[in-house]
């Protein structure tokens, strides 16, 4: 089964490693989506997320979007008055992996 994995912190990296390791014969993680590299505690250096590190150790391609949306347009949405427009440039590479399902663990961009 083809999987797209989405996550960022240590907790999610543990889940990714479990999918790749123990279940590696049954599952194939095709792509990982995680947050972009973030500033260290002192803000001087950019550090990759734990999920990015785990994915790169396994040779899994990583996508690091800042958002899944490209714009907002006027809408009848009563809460914000805006309608978010999905970034199809991000969705196309995910669809190209032909995933059977997407696993999400602690991913804040959704």
Please determine, for residue 90, whether its predicted confidence score (pLDDT) is greater than 90: no
Please determine, for residue 46, whether its predicted confidence score (pLDDT) is greater than 70: yes
How confident is the model at residue 62, as a pLDDT? Answer: 96
Provide the Cα torsion 49, 55, 59, 60; round to 10°.
-110
Spell out the domains of the chain, with CATH numbers in brackets: 2-105 (3.40.50.170)
Q: Report CA Rg, the chain.
A: 16
pTM score of the predicted model:
0.82
List, for residues 47-58, the tens digit of each pLDDT value. 999 999 999 999
Contact of 13 with 50, CB cutoff 8 Å: yes
How confident is the model at residue 24, as a pLDDT? Answer: 60
Please determine, for residue 75, whether its predicted confidence score (pLDDT) is greater than 60: no
Average pLDDT over residues 26-44: 85
- Among candidates 70, 87, 88, 15, which has minimal Cα distance to 32? 15
Residue 84 to residue 62: CA distance in whole angstroms: 24
How confident is the model at residue 12, as a pLDDT? Answer: 95
């Amino acid at each position: 089964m083809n999987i797209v994995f989405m996550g960022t912190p240590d907790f999610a990296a543990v889940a990714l490693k479990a999918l790749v390791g123990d279940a590696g014969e049954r599952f194939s993680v095709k792509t990982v989506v995680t947050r972009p590299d973030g500033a260290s505690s002192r803000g001087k250096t950019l550090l990759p997320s734990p999920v990015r590190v785990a994915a790169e150790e396994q040779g899994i391609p990583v996508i690091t979007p800042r958002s899944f949306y490209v714009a907002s347009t006027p809408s009848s949405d009563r809460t914000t008055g805006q309608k978010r427009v999905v970034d199809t440039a991000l969705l196309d590479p995910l669809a190209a992996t032909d995933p059977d399902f997407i696993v999400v663990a602690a991913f804040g961009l959704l």
